[in-house]
Amino acid sequence: MKNLKWWLTGLVTAIVATGAIVGVMIFLLFSSVLNGGKDCDSSDNPSLEVSTGVSGSYTDKNSAEYKNGKAIFEFLTKEMGFSGAGAAGAIGNAIGESGLKLHNPNPGGGVNGLFQWSGWSNTINGSRITSEGSIKAGDESTLTLENELKLVKYELTHGYSKVKHLVGKATDVQTATKNWFLYYEGMVGNEDQFGNLRETGAQWAYKEFGGSAITANDNILNNSIETTDASQRAQNDADYAQCGNGNDIEVSGEWCWPFASVPKEGPKLVGEQNYGKSDSRTNGYHDGVDFGDALYSGDVRAIHSGKIVKIMKPNDSGLGFYLIWEITDDGYGIAYQEFASDMSDISVKEGDIVNAGDKLGVSRKGDIGINDTHLHLGITKEKNLQKALSKVFVDDGTWLDPVQVIKKGMDNSADK
Task: Mark which of 186, 212, 237 sits at the end of a domain.
Answer: 237
Q: Are residues 50 and 194 in the same domain?
A: yes
Residue 317 maps to a domain: yes
Phi, psi angles (nearest 5°) of residue 359: -75, 130
Which SS3 state, helix, strand or coil, does residue 117 take?
strand
Q: Residue 249: name the closest of 58, 412, 64 by CA.
A: 412
Considering its fold, how many domains does the chain have in total? Answer: 2
Distance CA(283)–CA(392), nearest Å, equals 10
Residue 266 maps to a domain: no
Q: Tell me, what amino acid is at 334?
A: I
Residue 41 maps to a domain: yes
Q: Which domain holds residue 296?
A: 271-415
Cβ pair 189, 84 in contact under 8 A: no
* Torsion angle of the four alpha carbons 4, 7, 12, 18, in this order, in degrees rounded to the nearest 10: -130
Residue 392 maps to a domain: yes
Residue 55 maps to a domain: yes
Q: Are residues 65 and 152 in the same domain?
A: yes
Q: Are residues 69 and 156 in the same domain?
A: yes
Q: Are residues 62 and 190 in the same domain?
A: yes
Give the CB-side neighbour count of residue 361, counting CA atoms within 13 A. Answer: 24
Q: Are residues 336 and 404 in the same domain?
A: yes
The CATH code of the domain that includes 308 is 2.70.70.10
Q: Are residues 228 and 101 in the same domain?
A: yes
Q: Are residues 198 and 336 in the same domain?
A: no
Burial 313-337 (b: 16+ CB within 10 A, else e): eeeeeebbbbbbbbbbeeebbbbbb
Taking the alpha carbons of 339, 342, 346, 347 in that order, is the dihedral positive or negative?
A: negative
Distance CA(270)–CA(163), nearest Å, equals 16
Q: What is the DSSP string of 265-294?
A: T-----GGGSSEE-SSSGGGEE-SEEE-TT
Residue 193 maps to a domain: yes
Which SS3 state, helix, strand or coil, does residue 403 take?
helix
Cβ pair 50, 99 in contact under 8 A: no
Q: Are residues 92 and 173 in the same domain?
A: yes
Give a three-class secondary structure readout of 233-268: HHHHHHHCCCCCCCCCCCCCCCECCCCCCCCCCCCC
Which SS3 state, helix, strand or coil, does residue 389 take?
helix
Residue 256 maps to a domain: no
Q: Are residues 104 and 186 in the same domain?
A: yes
Per-residue pLDDT of the chain (416 residues; tens, 9 = 90+): 444 444 444 444 444 444 444 443 333 333 333 333 333 333 333 334 333 344 568 999 999 999 999 999 999 999 999 999 999 999 999 999 999 999 999 877 789 999 999 899 987 677 899 999 999 999 999 999 999 999 999 999 887 888 898 899 999 999 999 999 988 988 766 677 787 889 999 999 999 999 999 999 988 987 654 443 444 444 443 333 333 344 456 677 899 999 999 998 899 888 889 999 887 788 889 999 999 887 899 999 999 999 999 999 988 877 888 999 999 988 899 999 999 988 999 999 999 999 999 999 999 887 554 445 789 999 999 999 999 999 988 888 899 999 999 999 998 766 65
- Which residues are paired to 271 by β-bridges? none
Distance CA(263)–CA(338), nearest Å, equals 22
Residue-level pLDDT at 191: 72
Q: Are residues 213 and 328 in the same domain?
A: no
Q: Are residues 304 and 372 in the same domain?
A: yes
Residue 356 maps to a domain: yes
Phi, psi angles (nearest 5°) of residue 256: -155, 170
Q: Which residues contact 166 (CB under 8 A, 6 or more apart)?
A: 179, 183
Distance CA(326)–CA(304), nearest Å, equals 9
